[in-house]
A and B are shown apart, each in its own frame.
Chain A
Amino acid sequence: MSALQPPAAAGPVPFLSRLHEWVATVDHKKLGTMYIVCGIIYLIVAGLEATMMRWQLAWSGMEVLTPAEFNRLFTMHGTTMVFFVGMPILLGSANYLVPLMIGARDLAFPRLNAFSFWLFFFGSLLLYFSYFGGQGLYGMGSAPDVGWFAYAPLTERTFSRGHSTDYWILGIFVAGIGSTATAVNFIATILGMRCRGMSLMKMPLLAWIMLVDCVLILVALPPLAAAQILLLFDRQLGAHFFDTQAGGSALLWQNLFWFFGHPEVYILILPGFAFVTEIIPVFSRKVIFGYPLMVAATVAIGFISVGVWVHHMFVVGLSPMLNAIFMGSTMLVGVPTGIKMFNWVATMIGGRIRFDTPMLYATGFLCQFLLGGLTGIFLATVPFDWQVSDSYFVVGHFHYVLFGGLVFAIFAAVYYWFPKVSGRMMNETLGKWQFWLLVIGFNITFGAMHVSGFLGMPRRVYTYHADRGWDFWNLLTSLGVIVQILGFSLFALNLVHSLFRGRKAGDDPWDAWTLEWSTTSPPPPHNFDEDPIVHSRRPLWDLKHPDDPDWKYE
């Protein structure tokens, strides 16, 4: 060991030193914070992209955007939300929380962790550089305009001139390597660095869920990387993997992409499950209902989710047998997910529920994710899917899952763990105003989308005729966005205000039970002065209630 003692803190640290401290850091908490900050910045960017689209679609025949600009916006919105909002916020939260929750000092490979973050960061910049460099030598296009799924053969050079699609491939490829490395890091950490006494079945459910999530990342992301390399070969070296006119297969791309794409939905939503699984018991003042079943359901979701990708391809003309098999497997996901829903509700039943802001968001998650899950069951049914495939019904469905579910879970997590990260409480009044504005705005926006989808409005159209009967529902959808913007603005105000002026939080403001609440807020670089030893799933409960410890019952 080369014992390097950092200089003692005396006076304000110069800006460059502080910048270097963050750039060179290998600390999981700082890297986690950087992931989350980047994710929030991209959330604003993707939100602005969505707002532009809704402005264009608010009424029939609007000319706010050209068709080409619209195509770029929905491509960049989808790509950004999935790869540069969802993934960094979730991996960042796990980065911050998992070592603290399992009583470790850091991740197993801290430098690899830093490498992963910077790959994500530069990968995202590479994608957005396409707005400047995407035209290539052709003067064609700028940002990618092929949708976040980049279907072949639209992505072949014949149809996508310039370099915008190349930037889409490369940006996601680079970021994807970072995510894969992070998954390896988390698996090693969770399996090998738990504190003494923390057997797998005494681990916080967040760590369990992240373990399954990272295995899913390892299974799902390499096929995407492989498909992207093949596509790059097509575009740069004249190969014909996806070139249908030269014997290639467009379906091959769909299979490869959705073999990644559907597990990706679970990769995104599972950490959302993890957040509410930690939050609901604390605010219901009860132990989580059915811990072993929650673990089993998580593992089952992991297994089933890699066998459902064809439900994204029901309308491409596969055999009825294949469609039937994947319809069955897709419906099967509802079973473990239903178990989780029942367990969350069962945890709340009989509890002394405190509807503080994190719990409000967790409850909002339960209701809205349930609706998204139910429409998912509708869409798993082949004949129904044939009727509404590629319509706004599908857009409404997945926003109920990923916005009504995931984003609400993220807000629950932000309000719950912000005191630990910053040492200060977020403002409850502003938080509750934000919650209700988001609930109203979200349901107006995405509820109305179901109706316009039922009325036959296809997704990805930049405008529509006035005689279709879609104007009212589109106007409603766009008005909902305004309400959401108000909600997001309150969140930004709350975040900044609380960071500097928020009430001091103390170490354990929610009277919670997992290890992260036993250290200071914010935690020191080494997390714990002394290595913790645990005897149950709720070590802080044991300390607070020595007359009624959990370990007697586990």
Chain B
Amino acid sequence: MNSIPPNEKTHGIELPQPTAGPMICAFGFTLMAAGIVTNWIVAVVGLTALLAGAVDWFRNANPDSLEMVAPPAREKPTPIVPRPGSVDHLLGDSSHRARIPMEIHRYRDGMIGGAIGGVVMAIFASLWGLIAHGSLWYAVNLLAGTLRSGVADLSMEELAAFSTEGLIVGIIIQAVMAITVGLLYGVVLPLVPRAPLVFAAIIVPLMWSGLTWAAVSVVNPALGDHVEWIWFIASQVVYGVTTGWWIIRSEKIGTMQNWHYVDRIGLETQRTGGNS
């Protein structure tokens, strides 16, 4: 930052001269408005004040703006002292202006990890259905119940029975959710500074379970009655461990932020010099 000295001819800085004109104008205008609900005389007084204020305002601004020379400041601003070498570099090198994270996982890896986690989670949940309710289809029917109407009214026997519609809806829900959450894991995990696997396997499953518990108990309490929450949390943890492990072990790639502009916009040309 540099600065331009004030006008030498005037030996000071010109500022608009104070005037009560605008205040009188505003007062007059308000009185005119008040006259509508009080008495026409109030409105006439308001109009008079408005005109008087307007004349004063006009004379203040025409033909030339009335101005005063600002009195010299009593105090001068404290000079800004340069502090070279005092910047803490975020990454400890010349790329300290970079946006973190510098490296991310491929979106593809997040989606694949999510899909694998979704399959493992489905196997685990089906096993729970088999052990607890003697049916492989119990869990998928329950999952389908988040979109299908009337599932909450089904008996335990009906929930345990095979249903083509339930299977298709359940698979779609599981696939969409698993892949989407996997993608989110892929984006978020590089931002977690320490122990990303703990974040993926414990923290997020617990938070998601809490949110689901709170939402189901309000949105569809009848459906919530069929869910066994310990198993629910366990299946979320299974998903988190699998997906998180897959993503964390996948290769990281650098973001485009340090690329040359020409490379970033995808121009195929030969460059000479410049940043890379």
Check if A539 sits within 8 Å of B30, measured CB to CB: no
User: Besides A115-B26, A121-B26, 15 other CB < 8 A contacts?
Assistant: A5-B71, A8-B71, A26-B18, A106-B16, A110-B16, A167-B37, A174-B30, A352-B88, A525-B15, A529-B13, A531-B3, A531-B4, A532-B3, A535-B1, A543-B82
B67 touches A2 (CB 8 A): yes
Cα A368 to Cα B90 with chains together (Å)? 29
For A114, the chain B residues whose CB sits under 8 A away are 19, 22-23
Instruction: Check if A533 sits within 8 Å of B3, measured CB to CB.
Output: yes
| Residues of chain A with a CB closer than 8 A to B218's CB | 454
Contact, CB under 8 Å: B80 / A544: yes
B58-66, B117-125, B155-163, B237-245: which lies at the interface? B58-66
Question: How far is it, in angstroms, between the C-alpha of A507 and the C-alpha of B3 when the chains are bound?
Answer: 17
Does any Cβ of B come within 8 Å of A33's Cβ? no
Q: Which residues of B contact A507 (CB under 8 A)?
A: 77-78
With A236-B36, A540-B80 in contact, do A24 and B19 touch (Cβ < 8 Å)? yes
Give the chain B neighbours of A18 by CB distance below 8 A.
none
Q: Does B276 contact A (CB under 8 A)?
A: no
* B36 and A545 form a contact (CB under 8 A): no
Whether B76 and A518, one on each chain, are in contact in the complex, defined by CB atoms closer than 8 angstroms, is no
Report B13-71 residues with CB < 8 Å from chain A CB: 13-23, 25-27, 29-30, 33-34, 36-38, 57, 60-61, 64-71
Contact indicator A534/B1 (Cβ below 8 Å) = yes
Bound complex: CA A174 to CA B30 (Å) = 7
> Which candidate, A122-130, A295-303, A460-468, is the interface stretch facing chain B?
A122-130
CB pair B80–A518 under 8 Å, yes or no, is yes
Indicate if B5 sits at the interface (CB-CB under 8 A).
yes
Asked if A542 contacts B1 (CB within 8 A), the reply is yes
Beta-carbon contact of A174 and B33 below 8 Å: yes
Q: How far is the CB of B217 from chain A (nearest CB, A)?
A: 12
Question: How distant is the Cα of A3 from the Cα of B64 in the complex, in angstroms?
Answer: 12
B176 at the interface (CB under 8 A from A): no
Report yes or no: A111 in contact with B22, Cβ–Cβ below 8 A. Answer: yes
- Contacts A532-B1, A545-B87; A6 near B19 (Cβ below 8 A): no
Q: Within 8 Å of chain B (Cβ to Cβ): is A89?
A: no
Per-position binary interface string of chain B over residues 86-98, scored 1 when its CB falls under 8 Å from any chain A CB and 0 otherwise:
1110100000010
Does A548 sit within 8 A of B, measured CB to CB?
A: yes
CB-CB under 8 A for A546 and B76, given A26-B16, A111-B16, A535-B1? no
Contact A526 B36 (CB under 8 A): no
- Bound-state Cα–Cα, A323 to B164, Å: 34
Determine whether A267 belongs to the interface, using a CB cutoff of 8 Å to chain B: no
Q: Mark A369-409, 1 if CB is under 8 A from B, else 0.
A: 00000000000000000000000000000000000000000
User: In the bound complex, how far is the Cα of B39 from the Cα of A133, in angstroms?
Assistant: 12
Pairwise interchain contact B10-A3, C-beta atoms closer than 8 A: yes
A25, closest chain B residue (CB): B18
A119 contacts B13, C-beta separation under 8 Å: no
B84 at the interface (CB under 8 A from A): yes
Residue A166, interface by CB 8 Å: yes
B77→A26 contact, CB < 8 A: no
Q: List 8 A-B contacts (CB under 8 A).
A: A20-B20, A114-B19, A115-B57, A119-B30, A520-B73, A524-B70, A544-B82, A553-B97
Name the residue in A525, A526, A530 with the highest tally of chain B Cβ atoms < 10 Å from its Cβ: A526
Task: For B83, give the chain A residue with the smallest CB separation.
Answer: A544
Contact with A27, one of B15, B73, B88 (Cβ below 8 angstroms): B15
Across the interface, B18 reaches (CB within 8 A) one of A21, A126, A506, namely: A21
Residues of B within 8 A of A27 (CB): 15, 18
Residues of B with C-beta under 8 A to A236: 36
Contact residues of B between 129 and 158, Cβ < 8 Å to A: none
A1-45 Cβ-contact flags toward B at 8 Å (1 or 0): 111111011000000000011011111000000000000000000
- Interchain CB contact under 8 A, A118 and B69: no
Asked if A118 and B6 make an inter-chain contact with CB atoms under 8 angstroms apart, the answer reads no
Q: Which 4 A-B pairs have the closest CB atoms?
A: A118-B26, A539-B1, A115-B22, A530-B3
Task: Choose among A25, A289, A540 the residue with the greatest number of B CB atoms under 10 Å from its CB.
Answer: A25
Closest Cβ neighbor of A30 among chain B residues: B18
| B68 & A4 in contact (Cβ 8 Å cutoff) | yes
Residue of A nearest to B35 (CB): A170
A115 to B84: give the CA distance in the assembly, Å. 47
Let me know if A356 is at the binding interface, CB within 8 A: no
State whether the Cβ of A136 lies closer than 8 Å to any Cβ in chain B: yes
* A533 closest partner in B (C-beta): B2
| Complex Cα spacing A1 to B17, Å | 10
Task: Give the residue among B5, B6, B29, B66 with the most A Cβ atoms within 10 A.
Answer: B29
Residues of chain A within 8 A (CB-CB) of B26 are 115, 117-119, 121-122, 178
Q: Does B260 sit within 8 A of A, measured CB to CB?
A: no
Q: Is A349 in the interface zone, CB < 8 Å from B?
A: yes
